[in-house]
Amino acid sequence: MDIRQLKYFVTVAAHENFSKAAQQLFIAQPALSRRIRMLEDELGVRLFERHLRGATLTPEGRRLLDRAQYLLRSFDQLKSDVHDTQGPPSGPVIIGMTPNYVTVIGAALTIAIKQRFPDAQPHIVQAFSPAMHDMLRDNAVDIALLSGATPAPPPAHMLAVEPLFEDRLCLVGRAGDPLLARSEIPVRQLRGLPLILTGVSRAGIRNEIEALAARQRVPLRIEAEVGAFALAAQLVRRGMGYTVYLPSSVALESGLAAVPIAGLWLQRSLAWPVSRPLSRVASEVLPMVRELIMAQVEQGQWQGARAVGRRRPRG
């Protein structure tokens, strides 16, 4: 197996067609098919299902694709790092964020990176924290911004996790709702309320509200589960119920109001792999991410956030 074979494999996967991939690679289609067959024979698995319309990845092919893309990125970045040790950092840096991070700082961070490092290529990826852990493990992202406590902390030799701040969680409803006019409500006030919850169970916001309600023996009436706050906000505005979310995102929506839930905070963390060296550009961007977020928190620009005692990262 070599870099050229992996490049051929990734190109076929992108086009889902051997003929189109061969045209892009300037190679005869029979030769390309032969190189992919050699790769399959070496790995002992079938990477593509061939059919009349082209080729689709098998489950084994999908697993290889993530690793192959990472290896190709690393190879390109290695060349860049070796040649550009004296100049400004360049090349791709992939930053994974949970949805609220994307909403609040995604644009500002992208602009800040390009202003400081014009030759850098920031790539923002959005996912929930469990998926983000998998992406860090699989080297699909360089840096990740996580939400919520990590249920099963990764081994210290694999991942560094640095708590940055805590975010207040609020009950969110339609503007003018008298329930939301208070300064704070206890979790018992959620009893019987129709809730539209975002995210995935046992992670992030969902984990925090479900755990607090369970500790205080408050049953939650979950009417719907959605993957995005934007959809939850639409349903709330239409009178379907309430949701639980972060004030920094609620402030960007019209027609909504929010009240903090007593004792309900969401931990926010910065994570990066330590099992492999970061590229030069990722190493330069990492402190930028930290500085940008903490400046907003400490200056009161991140609504509902409070700084925590700075702890050494685990890892």
Check residue 303 and report its DSSP letter: T
Is the pLDDT confidence value at 85 over 80? no
pLDDT at residue number 106? 92
Q: What percent of the chain has pLDDT over 90?
A: 38
Q: What is the DSSP string of 108-167?
A: HHHHHHHHH-TTEEEEEEE--HHHHHHHHHTTS-SEEEEES--SSPPPTTTEEEEEEEEE
pLDDT at residue number 73? 74
Distance CA 147, CA 173 (A): 22
pLDDT digits (tens, 9 = 90+) for 240-283: 999 999 988 888 888 999 999 998 898 899 999 887 788 888 99
pLDDT at residue number 77? 63
Q: Which residue has the tokens 């890892």?
A: 315
Is the pLDDT confidence value at 315 over 60? no
Is the pLDDT confidence value at 98 over 60? yes
Q: Domains plus CATH for the chain?
A: 3-78 (1.10.10.10), 88-165+268-307 (3.40.190.10), 168-265 (3.40.190.290)
Distance CA 18, CA 13 (A): 9
pLDDT digits (tens, 9 = 90+) for 160-178: 889 999 999 999 999 999 9
Is the pLDDT confidence value at 203 over 80? no
CA dist list (Å): 31 to 27, 43, 176: 7, 19, 68
| Between residues 97 and 90, the one the model is more confident about | 97
Check residue 86 and report its DSSP letter: S
Distance CA 38, CA 32 (A): 10
pLDDT at residue number 4? 87
pLDDT at residue number 299? 87
pLDDT at residue number 67? 81
Q: Which residues make beta-bridge pairs with 256? A: 174
Distance CA 283, CA 267 (A): 24
